[in-house]
Structure 1
């Protein structure tokens, strides 16, 4: 599996993976079971979660206002945070019994009262079974609803009573500033309901997803993030979700002061697609682009070179020109896409990311270079296939 970030240091995904095509059932399971054991179904809810109510009168005296605010934030927000355990199933060679072995763990948060839980894709990648432990200790088997490896996000669903589900308040990441306080709640090293604090260290970072497509506008924080924090929320001082913790840079494997979170504005448009369709739906342009190696050999430093155009696609209808050969056998380069609307296209990835926030039926304008001249071509995007 590719690493999340390519760097001189080891870049660590903070959870381990899940889902090898096994259909998980929705059921509550005994919270006393340990890793590797068989978890038993139960119909009882022993400790239903209550809506968080902060009582300042219960706090010890002498606390600073900042401490009181942090305590309030944790007590109000932690009920939305969940713990994920993943396992693999294997058949014993000799007696043919199916055995369950621990695979990994991570964090998640409740998205809505329908039982949808959001985590990182890499937390649940490659496992056969997952359980979700809510803040009140109730444990449920989960089913995979949708996954977006290119965004390192996944949605699970549990069959929990509404009174146990406390959806996390969702904020925005468009107005974040370097230096503002942030709070991470998760399950580092399996230690559930752990709070760490810090600041936003930088904005606009880029990390590589499992699929190899970069995730942009990532939040960098110095809040302590360790293995097991993956999929957990990054909160602002109001307790609103502003990011999903996903990776760290560390030469040792533990916290080294640099952590990354997927911005919530990305999460807000990805998750509904995963819930409704099971995957991320992108409108289709319908072009095949040259690889970076080909561009280098041609001496092209920026842009997306069209190698082929898909028949009956938006690109064909708009007249986008593919690479071809003249009658004498020499190569005629296809259109070199330089801009999509106002977005500069310096690489194939830029084109993919520029399209993904559009929907089918949108009319975009492509600035292309064709035989030494620049022309603007309007394109009506196709339905995703």
Structure 2
């Protein structure tokens, strides 16, 4: 082997060894970096709005309840599993407010608060017409935090609202949105409507029902009750019973276990019948004996001949086209009051003064 060739081989080996050494160092450094935790970047303080939201949740969360129910046994289906929903502490006596549909048909109600313990509760009163119910804790060992009560008459579209509830069983979930609209009318299972309903885009999902809707001060402004969604999930259109209604109905439920149902003792024909006859108003299909409607001589539809009797067109100058319209007008006046009613028969309109009765037990 020549001297030049030997020198070239030595140089080649030296280059190979140098490459291996450098590669080893690079791999070792890379592996060390890859296996080391990243340095934590410092952050600034929460923004003012974030701090306000955190504080609101921390104040309000202890007032929010998780309700779960067991349904009364059925002869056909046996014991049914029941359901779950939300509620909130109303007072220090242990009253919890929720939706009627959360406890409807329940034979047993339990409530979970801060301690996480399931506390037995009894149903004190329900109002299907307002989708509201009150249950009372049987055991008052833990401290209660009643939610502060606001008002709904001065709400404005666009103001920030917060909903806290237990969607899908996930306890105390906070969502944020705005008041999307006011004065909506929401049908209830009883066939009547709740007036002045708040519409919000704060996410409301199954399990939120009965939870509080709060303003930016953390005051109760409504009780979440329904969503408008084809999928059953939040679509940004949720509804809440306004707190002014809640603040009127809940004390009655606590005191009496029921709410008077203003009425005049009539059965109304379907709206389609009025349309078929080309009349604008509520067709009287029947009257109850001894009712205010009978007292003023309201004449019902003759079912044998199909001849129309009386058609209620206005109450206190408010147009009436549905039974819900009539119910809202009578509720605005109140049981025991008298209202002026415009009634049409055979093309002639007359005015009658009718007494409003409590028909809840009829």
Scaled to the shorter chain, the TM-score interval is 0.7 to 0.9
Matching residue of 2:346? 371
Contact 1:77 1:239 in 2 (8 A): yes
Maintained 8 Å contact 1:79/1:136: no
Q: Against the structure 1 CA distance between its residues 315 and 88, is the aligned structure 2 distance closer, same or farther, given a 3 Å change threshold?
A: closer
SS in 2 for 1:219: strand
Partner of 1:151: 130
Any conservation in 2 of the 1:86–1:127 contact (CA below 8 Å)?
yes
Give the aligned partner of residue 183 of structure 2: 204
Aligned pair partner of 2:314 in 327, 339, 363: 339
User: Would the aligned equivalents of 2:263 and 2:327 in 1 still touch at CA under 8 Å?
Assistant: no
Q: How many Å apart are 1:346 and its aligned residue?
A: 1.7
Question: 1:298 corresponds to which residue?
Answer: 277
RMSD, aligned CA? 2.7
CA distance in 2, matches of 1:236, 1:374: 47
Q: Deviations over 1:253-309 (max 9, x none)?
A: 322222211211222222223223333312331222222232233222x31122333
Structure scoring higher RCO (CA < 8 A, sep ≥ 6) equals 1
Aligned match of 1:231 in 205, 210, 216?
210
Is 1:77–2:52 an aligned residue pair? no
- Over 3 Å counting, the alpha-carbon distance change for 1:90 and 1:363 in structure 2 is closer
1:382 pairs with 2:333: no
Distance 1:234 1:279 in 2: 24
Match for residue 286 of structure 1?
A: 265
Match of 1:62 in 2: 45
> Structure 2 length as normaliser, TM-score?
0.79
**SS class of match (1:151):** coil
Asked if structure 2 preserves the Cα contact closer than 8 Å seen for 1:282 and 1:355, the reply is: no
Q: Which residue of 1 aligns with 2:172?
A: 193
> Are 2:101 and 1:122 equivalent residues in the alignment?
yes
Which structure: greater helix fraction?
A: 2
Q: How many residues align?
A: 316
Given that 1:303 and 1:348 are in contact with CA atoms closer than 8 Å, whether structure 2 keeps it comes out as no
CA deviation after TM superposition for structure 1 residue 236, in Å: 0.6
In 2, Cα distance between the equivalents of 1:183 and 1:331?
52
What SS class does the counterpart of residue 105 from structure 2 fall into? coil
TM-score, structure 1 normalization: 0.74
Q: Aligned partners of 2:358, 2:104: CA distance in 1, in Å?
A: 28
Alpha-carbon distance change, 253 to 324 in structure 1, aligned in 2, over 3 angstroms: closer
| Alpha-carbon offset, residue 89 of structure 1 | 6.7
Q: Could you tell me which residue of structure 1 aligns to residue 148 of structure 2?
A: 169
Q: In the TM superposition, what whole-angstrom CA distance separates every residue of 1:155-200 from its partner, at most 9, and x where no partner exists?
A: 1111243862222112111221110000011111212122111111
Contact 1:150 1:215 in 2 (8 A): yes
Find the residue that maps to 2:177 and give its secondary structure. strand
